């Protein structure tokens, strides 16, 4: 009304200034274009076109201030003006609609790109489902339900953005419709909900349901967008499932490799001491009274030492069973690192009285979350390994210190070091590619690979290296955070 009033006032001004009535229709056409530009739909533009024709006839056509549609040439002129105004109004409305749709598509593309970026960073299937629900809710402004498996499966995962709809969506009719969408990979609609399948490469991974809270179904363009969004979610779910499957395969392969290495190590580490025990006991039994006391005592000592070695192997086997079956149940409590080190060194000195061990611990009391028994066994195994390979006369150094947010345990010696070809496989238990027999030396079996497994179960890491000044060093680091919260 304001624009039409302004057009009429401008026409009066032109007539008063020039006295001409020839070009007044153009002003009303301009008014129609402006009204179409700033109003929604076609109605206001068409109304303005008709009002412009009537206003021109009433104010600026003789007789003035009266209606007269019988003037010669008038119908053609004013019908043409009306037609031009309606065409301009229609074109303007269409251009606005195209601009609106273009802006909407651009917004959808931006949100789809944002959705895809978030899907890439999602690490769990639940995160993917939650993102899908969030974006569907953002665009529909209605409640959304999501089945991650066949809706008729009572064990299936059901998620919804509104708990009040669970009674409705647990009905037999709704579940049957969702089941058909899942099985047939097609859209299914009920009076209350529209079900869309999540499919990727003909594999249906779930069903999303859009609830008609206002009884208005989405327009076809929005349905296409929803299908594209669900396709992205299906790809992410499929990728996540493939990654989880690959991880399970890798874990199974790793367990199988561990079993193989364990059997290899056990066959070696059990056969060697048993052969020694068998030979020594046979020598005593077959040569009664013929062996001098010194040789007799030496054979008894060898039997005792080999028996202790067998006991340690059995302890290692029990440790492997403990940490490989349920690593997630490992209980970690804050323990004093000094006490663990002191106990380990005490046990080693009872076993190797002549060994030279130098210990360095922090001046401040250091509490480290750990399973004390397992970490003590790691320290004992590393010390024993250094003593056996470097020699009992070579000083062994055991250091404990803090590096950033981790406690560091380091066992080093000045022996002959580690053969370079063995460094890459020393902690894994996997034999190197050289032609050396697994029976070439005792003590290379499962000890170091078990130590590495124990440290990894604690969330730490373990390394082995040769020192520049000679000898070797084994280092493992444990995080200072992560104790059992129930402690």
Residue 442 pLDDT exceeds 60: no
Residue 446's pLDDT is 55
Rounded to whole angstroms, the Cα distance separating 462 from 152 reads 49
Rounded to whole angstroms, the Cα distance separating 181 from 183 reads 6
Q: What percent of the chain has pLDDT over 70?
A: 77
Rounded to whole angstroms, the Cα distance separating 436 from 314 reads 25
Judge if 95 and 134 occupy the same domain. no
More confident call, 152 vs 18: 18
Contacts of 179 (CB under 8 A, 6+ apart): 150, 151, 152
Judge if 335 and 477 occupy the same domain. yes
Cα 225–Cα 226–Cα 227 angle in degrees, nearest 5: 90
Residue 379 forms part of a structural domain: yes
Model confidence pLDDT, tens digit, residues 35-46 = 777 776 667 777
Which domain CATH number covers 241? 3.30.450.40
Which domain CATH number covers 397? 3.30.565.10
Judge if 140 and 199 occupy the same domain. yes
Residue 334 tokens read as 């804050």
Residue 286 forms part of a structural domain: no
Residue 355's pLDDT is 85
Residue 220's pLDDT is 66
Residue 10's pLDDT is 84
Residue 445's pLDDT is 43
What is the domain count for the chain?
3
Query: Of the given ranges (47-51, 356-360, 399-403), which has the lowest mean pLDDT?
Result: 47-51
Give the residue from 57, 72, 101 where a domain finishes. 101
More confident call, 405 vs 256: 405
Distance of CA 454 to the CA centre of its chain: 26
Judge if 381 and 437 occupy the same domain. yes
Residue 476's pLDDT is 95
Model confidence pLDDT, tens digit, residues 92-121 = 777 878 888 788 778 777 877 787 788 777
Judge if 55 and 126 occupy the same domain. no
Rounded to whole angstroms, the Cα distance separating 482 from 370 reads 9
Give the residue from 210, 245, 280 where a domain finishes. 245
Contact 206, 147 (CB under 8 A): yes
Judge if 237 and 337 occupy the same domain. no
Spatial CA neighbour of 213 closest among 135, 143, 139: 143
- Average model confidence (pLDDT) across the chain: 77
Q: Band of the pLDDT at 443, cuts 50, 70, 90?
A: very low
Residue 436 pLDDT exceeds 60: no
In the three-class reduction of DSSP (H, G, I as helix; E, B as strand; rest coil), residue 161 is classed as coil
Residue 441's pLDDT is 42
Structural domain of residue 338, as residue ranges? 327-487
Q: Band of the pLDDT at 367, cuts 50, 70, 90?
A: very high
Judge if 351 and 484 occupy the same domain. yes
Give the residue from 199, 219, 245 where a domain finishes. 245
Residue 438's pLDDT is 37
Residue 411's pLDDT is 94
Judge if 348 and 443 occupy the same domain. yes
Number of neighbouring beta carbons within 10 Å of residue 228: 14
Query: Of the given ranges (121-130, 237-246, 262-271), which has the lowest mean pLDDT?
Result: 262-271
Residue 309 forms part of a structural domain: no
Q: Band of the pLDDT at 444, cuts 50, 70, 90?
A: very low
Residue 296 forms part of a structural domain: no
Question: Whats the size of the chain, residue-wise?
Answer: 487
Residue 473 pLDDT exceeds 80: yes
Distance of CA 283 to the CA centre of its chain: 64
Residue 155 pLDDT exceeds 70: no
Spatial CA neighbour of 142 closest among 216, 199, 196: 216
Model confidence pLDDT, tens digit, residues 247-266 = 888 878 877 776 676 666 66
Residue 422 forms part of a structural domain: yes
Model confidence pLDDT, tens digit, residues 275-304 = 888 888 888 888 877 788 888 888 888 888
Residue 81's pLDDT is 66
Residue 391 forms part of a structural domain: yes
Residue 371 forms part of a structural domain: yes
Residue 370 forms part of a structural domain: yes
* Buried residues in 319-355 as b, exposed as e (16+ CB within 10 A): bbebbbeeeeebebeebebeebbeebbebbeeebeeb
Rounded to whole angstroms, the Cα distance separating 315 from 309 reads 10
């Amino acid at each position: 009304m304001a624009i039409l009033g302004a057009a009429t006032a401008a026409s009066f001004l032109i007539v008063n200034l020039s006295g001409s009535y020839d070009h007044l229709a153009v002003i009303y056409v301009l008014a129609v274009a402006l009204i179409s530009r700033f109003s929604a739909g076609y109605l206001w533009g068409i109304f303005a076109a008709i009002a412009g024709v009537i206003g021109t006839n009433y104010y600026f056509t003789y007789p003035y201030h009266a209606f007269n549609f019988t003037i010669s040439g008038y119908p053609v002129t004013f019908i043409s003006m009306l037609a031009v105004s309606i065409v301009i109004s229609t074109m303007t409305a269409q251009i606005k609609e195209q601009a609106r749709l273009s802006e909407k598509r651009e917004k959808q593309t931006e949100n789809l790109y944002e959705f895809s970026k978030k899907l890439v960073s999602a690490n769990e299937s639940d995160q993917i489902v939650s993102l899908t629900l969030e974006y569907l809710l953002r665009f529909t402004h209605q409640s959304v339900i999501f089945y991650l498996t066949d809706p008729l499966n009572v064990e299936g995962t059901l998620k919804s953005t509104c708990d009040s709809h669970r009674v409705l969506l647990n009905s037999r009719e709704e579940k049957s419709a969702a089941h058909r969408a899942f099985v047939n990979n097609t859209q299914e609609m009920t009076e209350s909900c529209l079900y869309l399948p999540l499919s990727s490469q003909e594999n249906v991974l779930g069903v999303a349901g859009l609830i008609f809270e206002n009884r208005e179904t989405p327009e076809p363009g929005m349905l296409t967008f929803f299908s594209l969004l669900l396709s992205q979610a299906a790809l992410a779910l499929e990728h996540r499932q493939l990654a989880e499957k690959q991880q399970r395969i890798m874990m199974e392969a790793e367990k199988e490799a561990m079993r193989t290495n364990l059997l290899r190590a056990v066959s070696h580490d059990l056969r060697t001491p048993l052969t020694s025990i068998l030979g020594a006991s046979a020598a005593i039994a077959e040569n009664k009274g013929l062996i001098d006391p010194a040789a007799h005592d030496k054979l008894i000592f060898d039997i005792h030492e080999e028996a202790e070695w067998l006991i340690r192997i059995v302890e290692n086997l029990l440790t492997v069973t403990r940490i490989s079956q349920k690593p997630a149940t490992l209980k970690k409590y804050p323990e004093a690192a000094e006490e663990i080190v002191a106990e380990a060194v005490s046990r080693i000195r009872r076993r190797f009285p002549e060994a030279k061990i130098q210990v360095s611990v922090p001046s401040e009391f250091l509490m480290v979350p750990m399973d004390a028994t397992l970490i003590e066994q790691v320290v004992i195994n590393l010390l024993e390994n250094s003593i056996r390979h470097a020699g009992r006369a070579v000083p062994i150094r055991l250091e404990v210190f803090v590096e950033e947010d981790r406690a560091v345990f380091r066992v080093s010696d000045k022996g002959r070091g580690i053969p370079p070809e063995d460094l890459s496989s020393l902690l894994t238990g996997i034999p190197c590619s050289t032609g050396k027999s697994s029976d070439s030396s005792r003590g290379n079996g499962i000890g170091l690979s078990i130590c590495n497994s124990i440290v990894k179960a604690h969330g730490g890491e373990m390394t082995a290296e040769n020192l520049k000044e000679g000898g070797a060093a084994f280092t493992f680091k444990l995080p200072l955070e992560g104790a059992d919260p129930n402690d």
